[in-house]
Structure formats: structure tokens, C-alpha cells
């Protein structure tokens, strides 16, 4: 990626596939490390980075959802950290040191939390007690619920009914049209 950037050429890097067969800790480790390295090396395109498991022999809806969180966080690191007199926040730090002793009441804290912090959809940020009370679900279980919700409620119609009918007339397509609607197997 860096050589391609130096030459002024676009680059694509395969990263984010895992040898793990399920979206587990091994998959997260393998995906996170390779995608972060590829992205921060300056790759213009990181492909095979979402949902891929078992050395590209499998894809998982749960892994797609989990990887969405991962890729968002990596993308945030690629953006880098802006260092300016405003972002160094010397005056804010002084007011906290000689004031409340914490940053929670500072306007800048809320502003930075909205622009700099990543809020994962699958990742769990609650206390152990709250997590246990909510059912003690794993990331894979939470991702399954999210993926199922997406699959049961999102039915894009990129192909008009007329074109769909023509394609079905010409080719042996066995997936019934009825399974592409809200009455499908995902609901």
C-alpha cells in the first residue's frame, strides 16, 4: 500500500479474513490485526474484510455485523488524531485541574465524544451486573439478533418485477419471489 501510494497508484489489500470457523475471539484477533495494519499502511481499498471466515470458505451474517463495528473503529484510527492548539485543550485542562477535577462537565467532552468516540452496535459497554441482568449475551448472540432484524425488515428492490420475471423465464432460478419479501424465512 505504501509503495503504491508513493507511486501515486491506487492499492487494494486483502485483509480481514480469518481462519476461525465462527465469529469468535480468534476471528476478532485475526481480523482486527490485519485490517488495522492494512488501513493504517494507507491502502485505498481493504477487501475481503467483512464476514469472511474459515480461510474464505465461509461467510457469516453475525460476522458481517461484528465486522461492521470493527471496520468503523479501524476507520477511525486511519483518520488519525488532530493536534492543534484547540484539540490540545490547555485551557480546559487548567480549568479541570483547578476546578471539578474531572472532564464530565466540560462542553468539549460532549463534543469530542460525539466526533471522536466509536459507539459500537454489537460491542457491550455496560457493567457486568447490567450485562448479566440483560441476559449475559455474547457478541455473536447480539450480532445474530441484529442480522436477523436486518434480514427480516430490509427488502431492496433493485430489480424491477418485469426484469425479475424475464430473468426467471430465461434461467433456472429456484428461489421463489415470495421469499424475497417480509414473509421470508428471516422474519
Domain ranges of the chain: 155-187
Minimal CA–CA distance to 39: which of 23, 62, 16? 16
Q: Long-range contacts made by residues 183-186, C-beta under 8 angstroms, separation at least 24?
A: 184/151, 184/152, 184/155, 186/148, 186/151, 186/152
pTM: 0.79
Instruction: Please report, in tens digits, the pLDDT of each residue of the chain (187 residues total).
Output: 889 989 999 999 999 999 999 999 999 999 999 999 999 999 999 998 899 999 999 999 999 999 999 999 999 999 999 999 988 999 999 999 999 999 988 888 888 888 888 889 999 999 999 999 999 999 999 999 999 998 888 777 778 889 999 999 999 999 888 777 665 565 5
DSSP 2-41: HHHHHTT---EEE----S-SSSSHHHHHHHHHHHHHHHHT
Give the separation between CA 62 and CA 22, rounded to whole angstroms. 9
Amino acid at each position: 500500500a505504501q509503495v503504491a501510494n508513493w507511486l501515486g497508484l491506487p492499492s487494494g489489500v486483502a485483509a480481514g479474513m480469518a481462519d476461525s470457523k465462527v465469529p469468535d475471539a480468534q476471528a476478532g484477533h485475526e481480523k482486527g490485526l490485519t485490517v488495522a495494519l492494512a488501513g493504517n499502511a494507507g491502502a485505498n481499498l481493504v477487501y475481503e474484510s467483512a464476514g469472511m471466515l474459515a480461510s474464505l470458505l465461509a461467510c457469516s451474517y453475525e460476522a458481517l455485523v461484528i465486522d461492521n463495528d470493527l471496520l468503523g473503529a479501524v476507520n477511525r484510527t486511519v483518520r488519525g488524531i488532530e493536534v492543534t492548539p484547540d484539540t490540545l485543550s490547555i485551557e480546559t485542562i487548567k480549568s479541570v485541574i483547578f476546578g471539578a477535577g474531572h472532564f464530565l462537565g466540560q462542553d468539549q467532552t460532549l463534543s469530542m465524544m460525539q466526533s471522536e468516540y466509536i459507539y459500537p452496535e454489537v460491542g457491550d459497554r455496560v457493567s457486568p451486573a447490567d450485562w448479566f441482568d440483560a441476559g449475559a449475551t455474547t457478541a455473536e448472540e447480539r450480532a445474530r439478533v441484529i442480522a436477523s432484524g436486518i434480514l427480516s425488515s430490509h427488502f431492496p428492490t433493485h430489480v424491477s418485477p418485469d426484469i425479475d420475471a424475464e430473468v426467471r423465464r430465461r434461467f433456472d432460478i429456484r428461489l421463489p419471489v415470495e421469499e424475497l419479501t417480509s414473509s421470508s424465512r428471516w422474519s
